A and B are shown apart, each in its own frame.
Chain A
Amino acid sequence: MRSTGLWAEMYGTVFLLALRSIRRHLLRSFLTVLGIVIGVAAVVTMVTLGNATTAAVQNQISSLGTNILQIRPGQGFGRGGGGPRPPNFDMDDVRAIEQQIAGVKAVAPQVQTSGTAIFEGANWSTTINGTSSAYFQVQPWPLASGRSFLSSEEQAGKAVCIIGNTVHQNLFRGGEAIGQRFRVKGISCDVIGILSTRGQAGFGGDQDDVVIMPIKTVQRRFTGNQDVSVILVGVDDAYSTTQVQASITDLLRERRKIGEGKEDNFNIFDTKQISDTLTSTTTLMTRIMAAVAAISLIVGGIGIMNIMLVSVTERTREIGIRLAIGAVSREVLMQFLVEAVVLSCLGGLIGLLLAQIAIALLSPLMQVPWTFDAQINIIAFVISAVIGVVFGYFPARRAANLNPIDALRHE
């Protein structure tokens, strides 16, 4: 009897009807969908930024390299205060680890200081990192050009250096640097290599703002002692980092003469472990925030239900007329359901728009790149449509079940 074309047209009409009734009460409609708008905006913003943060953290840590143990004096992040400063390490510790621990791929000592580099009138204050060529075996950080230290240079403590990209840009304006000589902290230093770009570190600023020299040079010329403040250990892929960590702990306790039952005066970080912990923390945070935001979606749904009930009551007479004229229940049901869904979808769309603005504003503040997560946008939109169906159904049902006579009599 009816062709599908007519059905499509009929639902097109129902859709237009819904739009018209929304337009008629524009302010009310907007207030109604505010809950959905905020809910969708919050969910999308939270999840997008949360995922971006997790990705950024993972990215940073994997740029540091996995399977790396970082050994520092002291008792970890939280326990700095009180008591005498625990002693630094020295090159003997480094050699001991290298020679006595199984599964160690490379061991790099590290000592840091800071100073101002001067080249042809350009000044740039930067971090000076003293280490050995093993530094580049421990972690994946290729040179953009030039070469690493020769062992003769390391042994002699020669004033040669490898510069990070930021130093290259600021001191040499990005121009020819290898073979040039610049001054830093009162010595002249030959540039032998330029590092590839590594990017921002999560907590410690620009990783490319660095000048790397042989550790002996830094010790002799700048720090004036034999101390090594950090030891980086690259663990062979075939070995477990936990096991290597345990052996190093035993070795260092013995070398540092820590008695039975006393606490370590050094700590060993497993970058993979940190990565896992941070990732699971940020993921959990994302989920919690998304859940909180989802609650406002449900509140938004209740708002829609509320206003649809009001609308059904207001329009009882209209419903009576439609029923009397021959509308079947389902048609009246559809009319109000479509109205609720159109409302909630509009709310969802506005929410998505707001979310993009919020993400654009917040991502620079949170130091994560701007991202558009299509999946969460689609999911949030579908959820807002589903909320329209779920919370619109009850009022629509009520409209469809009205008795035509009573509805016509309604004042």
Chain B
Amino acid sequence: MTEPLIRLRGITKSYGEGANSFQALRGVDMDIMKGDFVAVMGASGSGKSTTMNILGCLDVPSGGEYLFRGHHVEELNRDQRALLRRKYFGFVFQGFNLLARTSAMENVELPLLYRGDAKTERRRAAMEALDRVGLKEWWDHTPAELSGGQQQRVAIARAIVTRPEVLLADEPTGNLDSARSREIMELLSDFNRNGITVLMVTHEPEMAAFARTVVHFRDGVIERIDSNAQHGAVG
């Protein structure tokens, strides 16, 4: 068996100090293979976002081991984690988190800017990413001029513009109606078929059905992991 892309062992996360401390994660073990499509489900407050943040190197666990491509992430410093994010991860946040008063194009360009790509290259890649999410014509619109579904697609374009290894999406369809949600899911499935490992938090079983693996969280631990048998047929 090949080495997993992501390996979590005994990951814990507590917030606060002393008597007020709250343990959001209480020993999470997880292996994610390259090319997997994982849906993370669970009640509100069960630790889904916390796990995603740790996976995406945005946050550090309080305890346990996180190996990404065989390297210990929990030992990296702030800037090393930033460089890791820049290189391997794409994020779609809970809530869209686009820069206000900034065009769709510039939002999508942002990760390339920090990667140090030249302007013409940035423009080309950003346009291509916007095309992938069907917003080529909307490139000069600011978030305020876009619908919720469109904003989410801009956020997705921004996440995939660097051709990341892993795409992390925290409730990417949380604010959308089911037709828009399905469009988003089609996009994610499409990226997954092209080799991007996708992890996605969702509350809706209908959306989780797009994934190959479904991880159920409960009170800071993984309750069970399901495999979607029909996924293979779709993909």
A residues with a Cβ closer than 8 A to B are 1-2, 5-7, 9-10, 13, 24, 317-318, 320-331, 404-405, 408
Q: How far is the CA of A318 from the CA of B97 in the complex (A)?
A: 8
Q: Is B217 an interface residue (CB 8 A)?
A: no
* Cβ contacts under 8 Å, A317 to chain B: 97
Q: Is B85 an interface residue (CB 8 A)?
A: yes
Is A404 a contact partner of B118 (Cβ separation < 8 A)? Answer: no
Is A331 a contact partner of B114 (Cβ separation < 8 A)? Answer: yes
User: Restricting to B86-131, which residues have a CB under 8 Å from any CB of A?
Assistant: 86-87, 89, 91, 93, 97-101, 110-111, 113-119
* Cβ contacts under 8 Å, B119 to chain A: 9
User: Restricting to B186-213, which residues have a CB under 8 Å from any CB of A?
Assistant: none
* Cβ contacts under 8 Å, A10 to chain B: 113, 116
* Cβ contacts under 8 Å, A405 to chain B: 53, 58-59
Q: How far is the CA of A323 from the CA of B89 in the complex (A)?
A: 13
Least CB separation from B91: chain A residue: A324
Listed by A's residue number, 18 A-B pairs whose Cβ atoms lie within 8 Å are: A10-B113, A10-B116, A13-B113, A317-B97, A320-B97, A323-B82, A324-B58, A324-B93, A324-B97, A325-B85, A326-B82, A326-B114, A327-B82, A328-B83, A329-B78, A329-B82, A330-B79, A405-B53
> Quick one: CB contact mask for B47-91 with A, threshold 8 Å, 1 for yes?
000000100101100000000000000000011001101110101
* Cβ contacts under 8 Å, B115 to chain A: 326
Q: How far is the CA of A327 from the CA of B111 in the complex (A)?
A: 8
Is A404 a contact partner of B79 (Cβ separation < 8 A)? Answer: no
User: Chain A's nearest CB lies how many Å from the CB of B20?
Assistant: 17
Give the residue of B53, B56, B99, B118 whose beta carbon is less than 8 angstroms from that of A321.
B99
User: Chain B's nearest CB lies how many Å from the CB of A8?
Assistant: 11
Q: How far is the CA of A52 from the CA of B97 in the complex (A)?
A: 58
Q: Is B158 an interface residue (CB 8 A)?
A: yes
User: Chain B's nearest CB lies how many Å from the CB of A382?
Assistant: 30
Q: How far is the CA of A111 from the CA of B155 in the complex (A)?
A: 94
Is B111 a contact partner of A326 (Cβ separation < 8 A)? Answer: yes
A326 and B86 in contact, given A6-B116, A9-B118, A331-B114 (Cβ under 8 angstroms): yes
Is A322 a contact partner of B110 (Cβ separation < 8 A)? Answer: yes
Is B110 a contact partner of A325 (Cβ separation < 8 A)? Answer: yes
Q: How far is the CA of A313 from the CA of B56 in the complex (A)?
A: 25
Give the residue of A7, A325, A328 whose beta carbon is less than 8 angstroms from that of B91.
A325
Give the residue of A6, A7, A408 whose beta carbon is less than 8 angstroms from that of B93.
A408
* Cβ contacts under 8 Å, B117 to chain A: 6
Is B93 a contact partner of A325 (Cβ separation < 8 A)? Answer: no
Give the residue of A1, A327, A330, A408 whose beta carbon is less than 8 angstroms from that of B97.
A408
User: Chain B's nearest CB lies how many Å from the CB of A336?
Assistant: 15
* Cβ contacts under 8 Å, A408 to chain B: 93, 97
Q: Apart from A1-B116, A6-B116, what 9 extra A-B contacts exist at CB < 8 Å? A: A6-B117, A9-B118, A9-B119, A324-B56, A325-B86, A325-B158, A328-B83, A404-B58, A405-B53
* Cβ contacts under 8 Å, A404 to chain B: 58-59
Is B97 a contact partner of A321 (Cβ separation < 8 A)? Answer: yes
Least CB separation from B118: chain A residue: A6
Is B114 a contact partner of A318 (Cβ separation < 8 A)? Answer: no
Least CB separation from B79: chain A residue: A328
User: Chain B's nearest CB lies how many Å from the CB of A115?
Assistant: 79
* Cβ contacts under 8 Å, B111 to chain A: 325-326
* Cβ contacts under 8 Å, A328 to chain B: 78-79, 82-83, 114
Instruction: Name, among A1, A13, A404, the residue most crowded by chain B CB atoms within 10 Å (CB to CB).
Output: A404
Is A322 a contact partner of B114 (Cβ separation < 8 A)? Answer: yes
User: Restricting to B143-177, which residues have a CB under 8 Å from any CB of A?
Assistant: 158
Least CB separation from A320: chain B residue: B97
User: Chain A's nearest CB lies how many Å from the CB of B154?
Assistant: 12
Q: How far is the CA of A317 from the CA of B101 in the complex (A)?
A: 13
A326 and B53 in contact, given A6-B118, A13-B113 (Cβ under 8 angstroms): no
Is B79 a contact partner of A325 (Cβ separation < 8 A)? Answer: no
Q: How far is the CA of A5 from the CA of B85 in the complex (A)?
A: 24
Q: How far is the CA of A231 from the CA of B76 in the complex (A)?
A: 89
Q: How far is the CA of A375 from the CA of B86 in the complex (A)?
A: 46
A7 and B114 in contact, given A324-B85, A324-B91, A328-B82 (Cβ under 8 angstroms): no
Give the residue of B78, B100, B114, B116 whose beta carbon is less than 8 angstroms from that of A325.
B114
Least CB separation from A406: chain B residue: B59
Q: How far is the CA of A10 from the CA of B119 in the complex (A)?
A: 9
Q: How far is the CA of A84 from the CA of B69 in the complex (A)?
A: 107
Is B79 a contact partner of A329 (Cβ separation < 8 A)? Answer: yes
Is B58 a contact partner of A24 (Cβ separation < 8 A)? Answer: no
* Cβ contacts under 8 Å, A318 to chain B: 99-100
* Cβ contacts under 8 Å, B78 to chain A: 328-329
Q: How far is the CA of A321 from the CA of B159 in the complex (A)?
A: 12
* Cβ contacts under 8 Å, A7 to chain B: 116
Is B116 a contact partner of A2 (Cβ separation < 8 A)? Answer: yes
User: Chain A's nearest CB lies how many Å from the CB of B140?
Assistant: 15
Q: How far is the CA of A307 from the CA of B115 in the complex (A)?
A: 30
User: Chain B's nearest CB lies how many Å from the CB of A334?
Assistant: 11
Least CB separation from B100: chain A residue: A318
Q: How far is the CA of A3 from the CA of B111 in the complex (A)?
A: 18
Least CB separation from A14: chain B residue: B113
* Cβ contacts under 8 Å, A327 to chain B: 82, 86, 114
* Cβ contacts under 8 Å, A321 to chain B: 97-99, 110
